[in-house]
Amino acid sequence: MNKKNVIIVMIDGGRLDKVKNSYIFNILKSKSIFFSNSITYGPHTIAAMHAVFSGCYGSRTGTNSYWSTFKFKKNEFKTLTEYLKESNYYTHADVINQLVVPKQGFDNYVVHDELNDDLIENHRNLLEQMHQKNLENKKFFLYLHYSKIHTGIMNEVLKVYDNYSKEFFSNKEENMLRYEKLFQAAESYLNKILEKIHQLSLEKNSIILVMSDHGISVGEKIGERAYGAFCYDYTLRTFTYFLIPGFEAREVKQQIRTIDFMPTILELLDISLDETSSALDGVSLSPLIQGKSSDELYAFSETGNPLHEKAPPKESNVKSIRTSKWKLILNEYNDTKELYNLELDPDENKNLIGTGEKIEEVLWVELKRLINKHD
Contact residues: Zn ion, CB under 5 A: 12, 45, 213
Instruction: Classify 146 in phi/psi space as left (phi over 0), alpha (psi -120 to 50) or beta.
Output: beta
Instruction: Classify 294 in phi/psi space as left (phi over 0), alpha (psi -120 to 50) or beta.
Output: beta
Q: Which of 12, 281 has the CB closer to Zn ion?
A: 12
Q: Which of 48, 299 has the CB closer to Zn ion?
A: 48
Residue nearest to Zn ion (CB): 45
Q: Which of 5, 238 has the CB closer to Zn ion?
A: 238
Q: Which of 72, 326 has the CB closer to Zn ion?
A: 72
Question: Using an 8 Å Cβ cutoff, are 304 and 314 in contact?
Answer: yes
Q: Tell me how many degrees the CA angle 103-95-22 measures, rounded to the nearest 5.
A: 130
User: In which element (H, E) is residue 25 found?
Assistant: helix 23-31
Residue 9 CB, nearest distance to Zn ion (Å)?
14
Residue 50 CB, nearest distance to Zn ion (Å)?
12
User: In which element (H, E) is residue 250 found?
Assistant: strand 250-252
Residue 339 CB, nearest distance to Zn ion (Å)?
27
Distances in Å between the alpha carbon of 226 and those of 80, 154, 218, 238, 321? 29, 9, 7, 15, 21
Q: Which of 228, 282 has the CB closer to Zn ion?
A: 228
Residue 334 CB, nearest distance to Zn ion (Å)?
26
- Neighbour-count burial for 335-347, b at 16+ CB within 10 Å, e otherwise: eebbbbebeeeee
Q: Which of 236, 370 has the CB closer to Zn ion?
A: 236
Question: Using an 8 Å Cβ cutoff, are 44 and 66 in contact?
Answer: yes
Residue 139 CB, nearest distance to Zn ion (Å)?
28
Q: Which of 100, 339 has the CB closer to Zn ion?
A: 100
Residue 100 CB, nearest distance to Zn ion (Å)?
7
- Residue 188's closest CA among 118, 115, 84? 118
Q: Which of 45, 206 has the CB closer to Zn ion?
A: 45
Euclidean distance between CA atoms 179 and 193, whole angstroms: 21
Distances in Å between the alpha carbon of 286 and those of 5, 23, 87, 150, 291? 17, 27, 20, 31, 9
Residue 263, SS3 per DSSP = helix
Residue 212 CB, nearest distance to Zn ion (Å)?
8
Residue 186 CB, nearest distance to Zn ion (Å)?
12
- Cα 262 to chain centroid distance, Å, stands at 12
Residue 214 CB, nearest distance to Zn ion (Å)?
6
Instruction: Say if strands 140-146 and 90-95 run parallel, antiparallel, or are unpaired.
Output: parallel
